[in-house]
């Protein structure tokens, strides 16, 4: 009987915690879609495909999914120099869009869950963004 009570308590706890994460992620993705449409869409396109040899794709992007910290850094501080995305070299400049940590987190959650990307419900938080420092 004790085991049954423990199992039921565990299920209730999990159902109270995990849907909140899903709900927060969904809200962040919605906000991130707005940030993307205001700041990123002109270069990376509405489908996240980018522009061949000029602006790297975000759709199915190994750079984004394997090194989210580098992607956060690029969004937070801008990017100058070479990057390799899906085995293609890009050497261009991305200006610092001047976004807050919350906006960077939201747009990361959006692009990490769009166009064939999946964060597997892992959510980037504003605190994680805050901890990413500019490389000198």
Q: Which residues of 35-52 are buried (b: 16+ CB within 10 A; e: fewer)?
A: bbeebbeeebbeebebee
Within-domain flag for 89: yes
Q: Is 7 inside a domain boundary?
A: yes
pLDDT along the chain (136 residues), means of 10: 58 54 91 97 95 93 92 95 93 94 98 94 95 86
Is residue 23, in this structure, part of any structural domain at all?
A: yes
Q: Say what the pLDDT of residue 121 is.
A: 87
61 neighbors 135 (Cβ within 8 angstroms): no
Please count the other Cβ atoms lying within 10 Å of the Cβ belonging to residue 86: 14
CATH number at residue 105: 1.10.760.10
**Rounded distance between C-alpha atoms, residue 72 and residue 69, angstroms:** 5
Residue 18: closest CA among 132, 92, 122, 129: 122
| Both tokens assigned to 128 | 């994680």
Span 13-30, pLDDT tens digits = 555 555 556 899 999 999
The count of structural domains within the chain is: 1
């Amino acid at each position: 009987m004790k085991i049954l009570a423990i199992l039921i308590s565990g299920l209730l706890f999990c159902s109270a915690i995990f849907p909140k994460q899903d709900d927060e992620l969904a809200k962040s993705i919605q906000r991130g879609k707005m940030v993307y449409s205001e700041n990123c869409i002109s270069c990376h396109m509405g489908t996240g495909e980018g522009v061949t040899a000029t602006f790297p794709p975000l759709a199915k992007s190994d750079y984004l999914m394997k090194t989210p910290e580098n992607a956060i850094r690029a969004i937070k501080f801008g990017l100058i120099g070479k990057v390799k995305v899906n085995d293609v070299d890009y050497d261009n400049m991305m200006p610092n869009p001047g976004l807050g940590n919350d906006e960077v987190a939201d747009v990361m959650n959006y692009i990490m869950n769009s166009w064939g990307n999946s964060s597997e419900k892992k959510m980037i938080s504003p605190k994680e963004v805050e901890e990413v420092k500019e490389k000198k």
